[in-house]
Amino acid sequence: MIKLRLKRFGKKREVSYRIVAMPSTTRRDGRPLEELGYYNPRTDETRLEVPAIVRRLQQGAQPTPTVRRILEKANVFEQLKAETQNSPVNS
C-alpha cells in the first residue's frame, strides 16, 4: 500500500519534513517514490504540489493522520472531490 507520509530532514532541533509517497513497508527516511511537498513545523510553512497529490490520492494512496491534517488545511480534499466529479465515468 502506498502511503503519503512525512520524511524527516534537517539538523538536530531544526527539523523539517518532506511530504512523500512511499510504500508503507519502507522505513521513514527511505527512498520515496515521489516527493510531493514540504512542511516546516517551526514556521508552519507548507509547499504542496497539489496536482501530484490529487493524482496519488486518486490512485489509492492513504495519507497518515498528520499529512491528512496538512492536506485538509490546504483544501486538497475539496479539489480531489471536484476532480472526481468532473472526470468522466468509465462504464
* Long-range interactions of 40-48: CB distance < 8 A, separation 24+: 40/16, 41/15, 41/16, 41/17, 42/14, 42/15, 42/16, 46/70, 46/73, 46/74, 48/19, 48/74, 48/76
Give the domain CATH number at 14.
Answer: 3.30.1320.10
Q: Is residue 72 part of a domain?
A: yes
Q: Is residue 91 part of a domain?
A: no
Q: Is residue 59 part of a domain?
A: yes
pTM, entire model: 0.83
- How many distinct structural domains can be found in the chain? 1
State the residue range of the domain holding 17. Answer: 2-86
Q: Is residue 15 part of a domain?
A: yes
User: Tens digit of pLDDT for each residue in 30-86?
Assistant: 888 999 999 999 998 999 999 999 999 999 999 999 999 999 999 888 888 887 777
